[in-house]
Amino acid sequence: MTDVKFKKLALIGIGLIGSSIARSVKAHGLADEIVCAARTADTRRIALELGIVDAAYENPVDAVKGADLVILCTPIGTYGPLAATIGPALEAGTILTDVGSVKEAVVKAVTPHLPDYVDFIPGHPVAGTEKSGPAAGFAELFIGRWFILTPTPKSSHEGLEKLTAFWTAMGSKVETMDPAHHDLVLAITSHIPHLIAYNIVGTADDLEDVTQSEVIKYSAGGFRDFTRIAASDPTMWRDVFLHNKDAVLEMLGRFSEDLTALQRAIRREDGDTLFEIFSRTRAIRRQIIDAGQETAEPDFGRIHSPDDE
Amino acid sequence: MTDVKFKKLALIGIGLIGSSIARSVKAHGLADEIVCAARTADTRRIALELGIVDAAYENPVDAVKGADLVILCTPIGTYGPLAATIGPALEAGTILTDVGSVKEAVVKAVTPHLPDYVDFIPGHPVAGTEKSGPAAGFAELFIGRWFILTPTPKSSHEGLEKLTAFWTAMGSKVETMDPAHHDLVLAITSHIPHLIAYNIVGTADDLEDVTQSEVIKYSAGGFRDFTRIAASDPTMWRDVFLHNKDAVLEMLGRFSEDLTALQRAIRREDGDTLFEIFSRTRAIRRQIIDAGQETAEPDFGRIHSPDDE
């Protein structure tokens, strides 16, 4: 493993992911100095009180000064304006990366604002919980989880190696992917699951003939698992759907078509079709277990969260 | 609490639920004798080897002989023919109940076949895992879970009290409900969540531009939670959808309408609508946590399963 160490890490945003990075970087000694930028005074105060950053700034330009690694950890809708703000303040050779759940739109939003001497390497840790804010983070969040790098044609080979070593040191398994393909894969494995979880929880909230207290009381029958996903950060997810629109609409179209076929099978009382579909999906579960991607916990990382202990 | 004890419990079917009942009844001494009926020789052999029943019969008529409590634990599609078979063999005052996830169709299928002197009291434990078969059961499955009784106009008050005491002794919280209302509540809290989980796993399986190994590899982003639900027993769930058709189609119609509205908001890049919906659902999650219905485990009961330990 490359011996990786940055002089100064600047985290733009210090929510669940940003604060988890700060904790993990500190735990593994991956940077001499960790600073953050956060919009609200409250967030900056909490980050400082938690002792996870050495300094916290309101203005991201102050945070990135002298930084050799800058990570965007805010909702992706802010990336364009942020890049325009910090771009001129970044130093030559600085690695700029991010943790956004969408990659093609991020490349388009950020790249135009950067000087040529900045090494922009977009990335996405496939990790998280439904909790938000600097207090929700924990150092172990990335252990055993995938980190997907989606380099642009201008990303340097050296920067790519250094960033790979950085995430590997935090416990992640690093994979490289084309940004557009990343967006398609994540649309089906993450974005659509979140969308339909948000949707069914909303549907249940609107019923007149079933009370909300009944929904809550009997949620263990399956609904509960969806509410956990549907408790994820609304701003982050709004931005995901706005910025991965094409892939999400494509996958949603397929999902709806398939659901209509299931609905039709139920209406026609076509038990064979139902049985065939329900048997097929069981095989996929087995493969996930075989691939070691299954854990007893709803989200691998959550058990480490101080809130749960 | 009523001191409850049956002479002979006959379990018709000894899968996940039946075998969990057998284990729990044995652990709490709720019956002098426990027998089961199972179609296949293999299942009967396993049940006997596990030591959870005193006898196992192929013919359910043999199992119910002399039983004062009979519980139907097979997929609900079998209930009608089963009731016709065992009805004449049931003794006066015997309590007949079930564990089916649908109640109105069960009442309709079973009642016509029963002699007047049989005390039929339908029920539904809101508990389970995605595993099947007699080896998958465990005695703690019902602890802290709801058990819903849906008595018919002919169910006796005495039988209702005895069955309530029986399920309470196994750790359940018992609630009484109208069969039709049960089916509506469970359609949204359990049946639709299962249907859309089955559906998205099927959709992911059919993609050409995303490989199955990619879906499995990156399933931690949300998809994984759905695959667990979609690994549930296909026969049981086929029968649920065939027998709760009206309530499921009603709820599915609402779900699809809401999903179309979300799709439209994404297509129009209407961030405010997305944010509003995503914020609202977060509040419901909080209520589930407040109601103590949330557990760290994906399914409360699973941690007790020998397979997971």
Query: CA-to-CA distance for B269 and A81, rounded, in angstroms?
Result: 18
In angstroms, what separates the C-alpha of A32 from chain B's closest C-alpha? 31
Six token digits for residue B272? 């405010």
Average pLDDT over residues A118-139: 94
pLDDT of residue A304: 35
Q: Does A200 touch chain B (CB under 8 A)?
A: yes
> Any idea how long chain A is?
309
A224, B296: Cβ pair inside 8 Å? no
Average pLDDT over residues A176-203: 95
Q: Do the Cβ atoms of A99 and A73 come closer than 8 Å?
A: yes
Amino acid letter, B34: I
Listing DSSP states for B126-161 in one string gives ----S--SGGG--TTTTTT-EEEE---TTS-HHHHH
Out of A172-181, A187-196, B189-198, B299-308, pick the least confident: B299-308
Six token digits for residue B48? 């006997």
Residue A156 burial (C-beta neighbours within 10 Å; 0-12, 13-18, 19+): middle
Q: Which of residues 138-167 of A touch B (CB under 8 A)?
A: 145-146, 148
Predicted complex: ipTM over 0.95? no
Six token digits for residue B282? 């977060």
- The residue in chain B having the minimum alpha-carbon distance to the alpha carbon of residue A145 is B220
pLDDT of residue B303: 34
pLDDT of residue A298: 37
pLDDT of residue A309: 27
Average pLDDT over residues A224-251: 93
Q: Do the Cβ atoms of A234 and B278 come closer than 8 Å?
A: yes
Listing DSSP states for B49-109 in one string gives HTT--SEEESSHHHHHTT-SEEEE-S-GGGHHHHHHHHGGGPPTT-EEEE--S--HHHHHH
- The residue in chain A having the minimum alpha-carbon distance to the alpha carbon of residue B126 is A221
Query: CA-to-CA distance for B226 and B205, rounded, in angstroms?
Result: 13
Q: Do the Cβ atoms of B249 and A217 come closer than 8 Å?
A: no
Average pLDDT over residues A104-129: 96
pLDDT tens per residue, range B150-205 = 999 999 999 999 999 999 999 999 999 999 999 999 999 999 999 999 999 999 98
CATH code reported for the domain at A181-308 = 1.10.3660.10
Q: Does B309 touch chain A (CB under 8 A)?
A: no
Q: Sign of torsion, CA B130 B134 B140 B143?
A: positive
Question: Using a CB-CB distance cutoff of 8 angstroms, which residues of chain B are in contact with residue A302?
Answer: 296
B206, A241: Cβ pair inside 8 Å? no
CATH code reported for the domain at A6-177 = 3.40.50.720
A305, pLDDT greater than 80:
no
Q: Do the Cβ atoms of A207 and B258 come closer than 8 Å?
A: no
Selection from A114, A69, A56, A58 nearest residue A89 by Cα:
A114
pLDDT of residue A9: 98
Listing DSSP states for A151-219 in one string gives --TTS-HHHHHHHHHHHHHTTPEEEE--HHHHHHHHIIIIIHHHHHHHHHHHHHHT-SSS-HHHHHHTG
pLDDT of residue A294: 66
Contact residues for A257 (Cβ-Cβ < 8 A; gap 6+): none
Average pLDDT over residues A107-120: 97
What are the extents of the domains in chain B? 6-177, 181-308
Element (H, E) at B14: none
Size of interface A-B (CB pairs under 8 A): 326
Query: CA-to-CA distance for B56 and B14, rounded, in angstroms?
Result: 9
Angle of helix A245-267 versus helix A192-205 axis, rounded to 10? 60
A308, pLDDT greater than 70:
no
Average pLDDT over residues A184-191: 95
- The residue in chain B having the minimum alpha-carbon distance to the alpha carbon of residue A234 is B278
- Beta bridge pairs of residue A34: A9
A188, B127: Cβ pair inside 8 Å? no
Pinpoint the alpha helices (H) of chain A.
Answer: 16-28, 41-49, 60-64, 79-86, 104-110, 157-169, 179-186, 192-205, 212-217, 223-229, 234-243, 245-267, 271-290
User: In CATH terms, are A6-177 and A181-308 the same topology?
Assistant: no
Confidence of residue A2 (pLDDT cuts 50, 70, 90): low
Q: Does B242 touch chain A (CB under 8 A)?
A: yes
A216, A267, A291 ranked by CB distance to B293: nearest: A216
Beta strands in B140-220 (DSSP E): 146-149, 173-176
Cβ neighbours around B253 below 10 Å, total: 12
Q: Do the Cβ atoms of A120 and A287 come closer than 8 Å?
A: no
- 10-residue mean pLDDT series, chain B (309 residues): 86 97 98 98 98 98 98 97 98 97 97 97 93 94 96 96 98 96 96 94 90 88 87 93 97 96 97 94 82 55 33
Selection from B55, B54, B64, B108 nearest residue B85 by Cα:
B64
A242, B197: Cβ pair inside 8 Å? no
A207, B188: Cβ pair inside 8 Å? yes
